[in-house]
Structure 1
């Protein structure tokens, strides 16, 4: 018997996300409500709720659901907070962030992906999300400072951290994945003062680097 999308979402929560120590009820509710299949390319619809990264565009991917869950839990997004997502992709994480906060600016360097994300989000009635085309690792994003910044691709170096940290409001949180294959580190950086930041290592993982992060660092693979 075919598994419905609703059942698949339930299984994703129970079998992937909860076992990865994501226990925040608000995060679980958001991920149970947002229809991930609405953001997955047609060729991968059957894998919308699988425990894998899904290719999008030429050199990008959707993060695995459990990584999204851990990220959302660490960021602890509160209603009304100003949120920036870097690497918006198809708009899935933006939708989850908006469900937890409200106003989200998503920046995507791939113009085609950005247009598709905007169309998807508008079609779903998620009008509190603005998708922009641009390189958020080269200059500040208009609309800050932000309470939350989520970077949804890896960065091989820490070169962009000063730029990102500088856009955090007092008490603001930044999630990013740093390093290179085979092991990268997900970290949470919190602004605790004008020039002071607290850094917490969250978990080890591995994912594709943001295109602009690779170009900025000069890394080649």
Structure 2
């Protein structure tokens, strides 16, 4: 996966490459899906949730520039793979997952690999974890049509938030950065990542 998908996608961060080589991705999937763990595609976990395509996940994490000593919030962490990768890059990572079954599986898998700097919290993804922040990095595992203000408000100074934003059906990976109290954003690559359930724009009615 790293040799055929990650490196050719200009993911040059050696710490990230090493993390993706070290973490057994199949450990964070149902056994029936283990054969697809390293495929170049999204993996359907059920209930509208998916593992991001490895390439897109790696490019987004690289764009965030996660550093040792940083506090990271991992939103919609599902079964914990993203949390495991981030745990190799930062001081502490908090995974937020609304699905109790997924959260339980994530806790077990992270314990099995010894990720003792990672914590899983079952909570509303849209709200983030305001009581635990502010965060140096926030990663969103999936696409949204609208970025909640709650997420942006939880960024520390110089904090970065990475998320795929769908605009008119086109997905673009954006990194939002807080500097001097002001949040700006930039597009880093295009992505076909699927929408997270519940993160669609409300329909607008025209009179």
Do Structure 1 and Structure 2 share a fold, with TM-score over 0.5?
yes
Range that drifts further, 172-181 or 15-24: 172-181
* Whole-angstrom CA distance in 2 between matches of 1:176 and 1:104: 17
Runs of 5+ unmatched residues, structure 1: 1-11
Residue 206 (structure 1) aligned to one of 189, 192, 202: 192
Say what the alpha-carbon RMSD is for the aligned residues. 1.5
Q: Between Structure 1 and Structure 2, how many residues are aligned? A: 203
Residue 46 in 1 paired to residue 30 in 2?
no
| Offset, 1:218 | 3.4
* Whole-angstrom CA distance in 1 between matches of 2:168 and 2:74: 23
Q: Mark the CA change 1:121 to 1:206 in structure 2 (over 3 Å): closer, same or farther.
A: same
Runs of 5+ unmatched residues, structure 2: none
Q: Taking structure 1 as the reference length, what is the TM-score of the superposition?
A: 0.87
- The CA deviation string for residues 26-50 of structure 1, in whole angstroms up to 9 with x for no partner, is 1111111111111122121111111
Residue 37 in 1 paired to residue 21 in 2?
no
Residue 85 (structure 1) aligned to one of 64, 70, 74: 74
Q: Taking structure 2 as the reference length, what is the TM-score of the superposition?
A: 0.92
| Offset, 1:136 | 2.7
What are the within-5 Å matches in structure 2 for residues 1-221 of structure 1? 12-138=1-127, 140-158=129-147, 160=148, 162-179=149-166, 182-194=169-181, 196-214=182-200, 217-218=201-202
By percentage of residues, which structure has more helix? 1
* Contact 1:135-1:212 within 8 A present in 2 as well: no
